[in-house]
């Protein structure tokens, strides 16, 4: 059974070395979450009062301005943060794709990095061994796969990471924006693989600023603002309210 249930969940970050306690909420509140100064240690309320229930088959877009809490919400859903208030229940294997570079060791070869990245994403050794040829072929890195990662260009590293990340079998796939620093031709190839990955996934939550990408992969949306859920419904409506115009209609017209 695959599910994500958040019940009035909140994420509060304690700030231990903040010297000044008299920060005006208005100054910083505009971009980020609310700052609470009542307790002895100042905290930042990154998320509050989040109540969301997701089930298998849902493809959810996550939209909102920078600092609204999208990444924090993804981390809450992945289990990296357990809620400081409220409850969270996540069932199923989570594959978080937030930063393509994390877990990569520049000193070891591309092939070894594939193995490690896969292990980090919850695959077993056997599963990775059976997929490694497929990934190697997809990345088009050839002999470079035997070379240490530090000899790779940024684009090559992204290709390697994308290759691994799209080969897993996630029950819950959480994608954070910013996974597209590759050349256009490769991106087209990666898009198909990404679509296949999403089709294999139980639940998808995708944070992005790209309307086309969201329209292609998602059918519902959550709009985050100042750490709370402002709206949660069908993609078309939420995007229209968020952007102020019917974005989906524009995309379909193209």
Partner 1 sequence: MTTGDDRAEDVASVDPFATDPSNPRSWKRAFRDIGLGWRQRALWGYLGWQDIKQRYRRSVLGPLWISISMGVIATAMGILYGALFHEDIKVFLPYVATGLLIWNFINGCILEGSEVFIANEGLIKFLPAPITLHVYRLVWRQTLFFLHNLVIWLLLVIVFPQPLSWTVLLAVPAFLVLGINGAWITVLSGILATRFRDIPPIIASVTQLLFFMTPIVWSYERLKSNPLAAYVELNPVMHFVEILREPLLGQEIVWRHWIVVGAITVVGSAVALVCLRNYRSRVAYWV
Rounded Cα gap, residues 78 and 63, in angstroms: 17
SS3 per-residue string spanning the chain: CCEEEEEEEEEEEECCCCCCCCCCHHHHHCCCCEEECCCCCCEEEEEEEEEEEEECCCEEEEECCCCCCHHHHHHHHHCCCCCCEEEEEEECCEEEECCCCCCCCCCCEHHHHHHHHHHHCCCCHHHHHHHHHHHHHHHCCHHHHHCEHHHCCHHHHHHHHHHHHCCCCCCEEEECCCCCCCCHHHHHHHHHHHHHHHHHCCEEEEECCCHHHHHHHCCEEEEEECCEEEEEEEHHHHHHHHHCCCHHHHHHHC
Q: Segment contacting partner 1 (CB under 8 A): 22-30, 116-124, 152-160, 183-191?
A: 116-124
Q: Segment contacting partner 1 (CB under 8 A): 102-110, 133-141, 162-170, 209-217?
A: 102-110
Please list every residue from 220 through 239 that binds partner 1, using CB under 8 A: 220, 232-234
Please pick, from the candidates 20, 39, 107, 185, the single residue that binds partner 1 as defined by CB under 8 A: 107
Please list every residue from 53 through 82 that binds partner 1, using CB under 8 A: 53, 55, 75, 78-82
Q: Segment contacting partner 1 (CB under 8 A): 112-120, 131-139, 155-163, 187-195?
A: 112-120
Please pick, from the candidates 108, 111, 147, 251, the single residue that binds partner 1 as defined by CB under 8 A: 108
Q: Is 137 left (phi over 0), alpha (psi -120 to 50) or beta?
A: alpha
Please list every residue from 5 through 24 that binds partner 1, using CB under 8 A: 5, 7, 13-14, 16
240 touching partner 1, by CB under 8 A? no
Residue with tokens 């990934």: 135
**Looking at beta carbons only, is 111 or 187 nearer to partner 1?**
111
208 touching partner 1, by CB under 8 A? no
Minimum Å distance from CB 146 to partner 1? 15
Please pick, from the candidates 124, 130, 146, 210, the single residue that binds partner 1 as defined by CB under 8 A: 124
CA angle at 242 for the pair 237 and 245, rounded to the nearest 5°: 70
186 touching partner 1, by CB under 8 A? no
102 touching partner 1, by CB under 8 A? yes
130 touching partner 1, by CB under 8 A? no
Residues interacting with partner 1, by CB under 8 A?
3, 5, 7, 13-14, 16, 51-53, 55, 75, 78-84, 87-89, 91, 94, 96, 98-99, 102-103, 105, 107-108, 112, 115-116, 119-120, 124-125, 220, 232-234
């Amino acid at each position: 059974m695959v599910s994500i249930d958040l019940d009035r969940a909140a994420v509060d970050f304690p700030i231990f070395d903040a010297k000044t306690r008299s920060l005006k909420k208005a100054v910083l509140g505009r971009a980020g979450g609310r700052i609470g100064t009542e307790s002895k240690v100042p905290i930042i309320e990154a998320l509050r009062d989040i109540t969301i229930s997701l089930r298998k088959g849902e493809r959810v877009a996550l939209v909102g301005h920078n600092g609204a809490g999208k990444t924090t919400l993804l981390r809450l859903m992945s289990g990296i943060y357990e809620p400081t208030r409220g409850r969270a229940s996540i069932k199923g294997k989570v594959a978080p794709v937030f930063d393509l570079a994390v877990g990569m060791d520049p000193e070891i070869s591309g092939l070894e990095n594939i193995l490690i990245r896969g292990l980090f994403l919850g695959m077993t050794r056997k599963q990775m061994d059976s997929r490694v040829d497929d990934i190697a072929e997809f990345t088009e890195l050839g002999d470079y796969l035997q070379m240490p990662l530090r000899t790779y260009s940024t684009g090559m590293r992204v290709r390697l990471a994308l290759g691994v990340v799209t080969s897993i079998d996630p029950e819950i796939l959480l994608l954070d924006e910013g996974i597209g620093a590759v050349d256009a031709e490769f991106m087209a190839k990666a898009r198909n693989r990404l679509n296949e990955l999403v089709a294999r996934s139980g639940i998808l939550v995708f944070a992005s600023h790209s309307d086309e990408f969201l329209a292609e992969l998602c059918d519902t949306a959550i709009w985050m603002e100042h750490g709370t859920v402002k709206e949660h419904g069908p993609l078309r409506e939420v995007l229209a309210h968020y952007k102020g115009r019917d974005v989906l209609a524009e995309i379909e017209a193209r």
